[in-house]
């Protein structure tokens, strides 16, 4: 039996099974998510030209496709939730009940020079761009639930904890329309730890003194603009299949480390130092330095200087 016949047969069977499960409402995902898996085509092409026995290549194809299917399902279904709970949730909570309009502010004190922000979020869209006279301003519009916060102050430091209120709910498609906007005070130094699921993130941090930004995300669209307001800034990203755009100021030196599988990248203004390691030509002489570490799965990168 020819390998190409087995190859296309396996693909058609898997796609057909996905359609059947989708139509029976057993699984729920958006087919647009397939574009994130375009590098799988390269993997399958590579398998097809391997000088190996057909049964070995067939096994590899099945493993790759099964992993791709698992990724699609894992990004859109909470397998920990009971299926009956999913239907009950959709039945009991209508649009009116799930809409959230939530605002709160945390007052600023002149004695605070360093802030630690720990934010555990759900799916949705998240924005930072505006400044505020308060320490932090929070706005939540959408359907993913309300958030609670705790503030702890000690001498010149403030620690802010923001998290989803109550138990984690099943996130249906409406959760994607949740929009959360944060405004920060630009006087203190910020250390931000953000843990989100499938999300859209647009952070313009160019006006703020950011010492550290740790970002843990699922399949996400991430756009981050860093500034030059602090001598040494650190950006650490750990993400699933994501589209990542990072902008750094041209007058700052930047050290970039990428650790990724099957990723497409566009890196402008950087010199390659080693495998996955890049630096700007002004790194040694620049007064301000930015250190970026990215660890992601199947992703696309665009990293530019402005």
Question: Is beta strand 100-106 parallel, antiparallel or unpaired with respect to 136-142?
Answer: antiparallel
Average pLDDT over residues 217-234: 93
Same domain (yes/no): 160, 40:
no
Average pLDDT over residues 69-95: 42
Task: Examine residue 16 and state whether it is found in any structural domain, yes or no.
Answer: yes
- Select from 294, 216, 280 the least CA-distant residue to 252: 280
User: pLDDT-derived band of residue 111, with 50, 70 and 90 as boundaries?
Assistant: very high
Task: Examine residue 83 and state whether it is found in any structural domain, yes or no.
Answer: no
Task: Examine residue 143 and state whether it is found in any structural domain, yes or no.
Answer: yes
- Select from 209, 212, 253 the least CA-distant residue to 227: 209
Task: Examine residue 90 and state whether it is found in any structural domain, yes or no.
Answer: no
Task: Examine residue 85 and state whether it is found in any structural domain, yes or no.
Answer: no
List the domain range (segments joined by +) for residue 30.
3-74
* Helical axes 3-23 vs 39-48, angle rounded to 10°: 150
Q: Which of 54-63, 88-97, 213-222 has the lowest mean pLDDT?
A: 88-97
Task: Locate 13 and state its tokens.
Answer: 């069977």
Same domain (yes/no): 181, 278:
yes
Same domain (yes/no): 286, 137:
yes
Average pLDDT over residues 221-239: 95
Same domain (yes/no): 70, 107:
no
Task: Examine residue 89 and state whether it is found in any structural domain, yes or no.
Answer: no
Same domain (yes/no): 66, 210:
no
Average pLDDT over residues 149-163: 94
- pLDDT higher than 70, residue 153: yes
Task: Note the maximum CA span of the chain.
Answer: 76
Percent of the chain whose predicted confidence (pLDDT) is above 70: 69
The domain total for the chain is: 2
Q: Rank 42-46, 128-132, 144-148, 165-169 by mean pLDDT and report only the highest.
A: 128-132
Same domain (yes/no): 192, 279:
yes
Same domain (yes/no): 270, 141:
yes
């Amino acid at each position: 039996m020819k390998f190409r016949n087995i190859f296309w047969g396996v693909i058609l069977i898997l796609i057909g099974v996905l359609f059947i499960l989708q139509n029976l409402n057993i699984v729920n995902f958006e087919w647009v998510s397939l574009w994130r898996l375009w590098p799988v085509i390269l993997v399958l092409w590579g398998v097809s030209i391997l000088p190996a026995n057909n049964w070995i290549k067939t096994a590899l194809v099945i493993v790759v496709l099964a992993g791709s299917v698992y990724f699609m399902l894992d990004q859109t279904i909470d397998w920990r939730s009971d299926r009956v709970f999913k239907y009950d949730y959709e039945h009991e909570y209508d649009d009116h009940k799930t809409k959230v309009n939530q605002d709160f502010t945390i007052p600023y004190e002149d004695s605070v020079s360093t802030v630690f922000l720990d934010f555990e979020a759900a799916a949705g869209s998240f924005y930072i761009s505006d400044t505020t006279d308060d320490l932090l301003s929070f706005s939540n519009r959408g359907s993913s639930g309300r958030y609670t916060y705790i503030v702890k102050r000690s001498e010149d430091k403030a620690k802010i904890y923001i998290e989803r209120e109550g138990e984690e709910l099943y996130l249906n498609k409406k959760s994607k329309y949740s929009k959360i906007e944060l405004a920060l005070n630009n006087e203190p130094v910020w250390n931000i730890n953000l843990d989100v699921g499938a999300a859209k993130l647009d952070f313009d941090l160019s006006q703020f003194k950011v010492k550290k930004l740790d970002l843990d995300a699922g399949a996400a669209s991430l756009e981050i603009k860093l500034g030059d307001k602090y001598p040494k800034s650190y950006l650490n990203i750990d993400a699933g299949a994501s589209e990542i755009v990072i902008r750094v100021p041209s007058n700052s030196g930047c050290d970039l480390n990428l650790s990724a599988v099957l990723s497409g990248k566009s890196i402008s203004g950087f010199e390659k130092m080693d495998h996955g390691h890049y630096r700007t030509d002004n790194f040694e002489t620049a007064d301000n330095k930015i250190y970026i570490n990215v660890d992601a799965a199947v992703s696309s990168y665009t990293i530019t200087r402005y």
